[in-house]
């Protein structure tokens, strides 16, 4: 504004409004990017929590295996699946005997692409516990821990369960203890 003038010119007002609008548009874009990043982070955290909870549930099911008592089914397993009785949490908060099936299943991860996954069936509920985009997966059963342990491809029905189950997915192996503390 020049000395002696008491008002802004129309051009000065249009320039000020344009600059203000550009600042607001830029701030809006930054806020949208922050909101998208927060949403992606939340989805990733939720997926990670679900995966951790499923593995924790698997460890708890195997810690609560029941064999050799009336009403329980024997522990039977092969390279692709294992069946056994366990004690499962109910919605009411107590434990109830349940039938469990662990199975290696082929799942489609993306259209035209499949991988092996470890799936837990407890009654009618089916949960995918481990998916590591593995081309091959198998189960192994630990009989004894002495001298590095004796691992078996098959566990036949008997009055006891294995000490642990090894879930082998390609070159990665997860060991889950059977019985005792999860």
Long-range contacts of 107-110 (CB under 8 A, 24+ apart): 107/131, 109/133
pTM (two decimals): 0.68
Supply the DSSP string of 119-159, one letter for each residue: EEEETTEEEEEEEEEES-EEEEEEEE-GGG-EEES-B---S
Annotated domain spans of the chain? 8-182
pLDDT tens digit string along 62-113? Answer: 999 998 888 888 999 999 999 999 998 888 888 888 899 999 988 776 777 7
Contact 115, 132 (CB under 8 A): yes
| % the chain with pLDDT above 70 | 91
Largest CA distance in the chain: 104
Query: How high is the pLDDT of residue 72?
Result: 87
The whole-chain average pLDDT of the chain stands at: 85
Question: Is the separation of the CB atoms in 100 and 90 below 8 Å?
Answer: no
């Amino acid at each position: 504004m020049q000395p002696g003038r008491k008002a802004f010119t129309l051009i000065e007002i249009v320039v000020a409004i344009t600059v203000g609008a550009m600042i607001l548009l830029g701030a809006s874009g930054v806020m949208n990017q922050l909101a998208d990043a927060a949403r992606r982070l939340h989805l990733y955290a939720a997926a990670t929590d679900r995966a951790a909870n499923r593995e924790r549930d698997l460890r708890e099911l195997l810690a609560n295996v029941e064999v050799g008592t009336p009403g329980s089914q024997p522990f039977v397993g092969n390279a692709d699946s294992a069946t056994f009785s366990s004690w499962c949490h109910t919605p009411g908060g107590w434990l109830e005997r349940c039938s469990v099936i662990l199975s290696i299943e082929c799942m489609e991860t993306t259209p035209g692409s499949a991988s092996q996954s470890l799936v837990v069936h407890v009654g009618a509920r089916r949960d995918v516990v481990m998916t590591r985009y593995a081309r091959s997966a198998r189960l192994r059963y630990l009989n004894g821990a002495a001298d590095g342990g004796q691992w078996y491809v098959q566990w036949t029905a008997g009055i006891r369960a294995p000490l642990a189950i090894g879930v082998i997915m390609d070159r990665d192996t997860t060991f889950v203890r059977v019985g005792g503390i999860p």
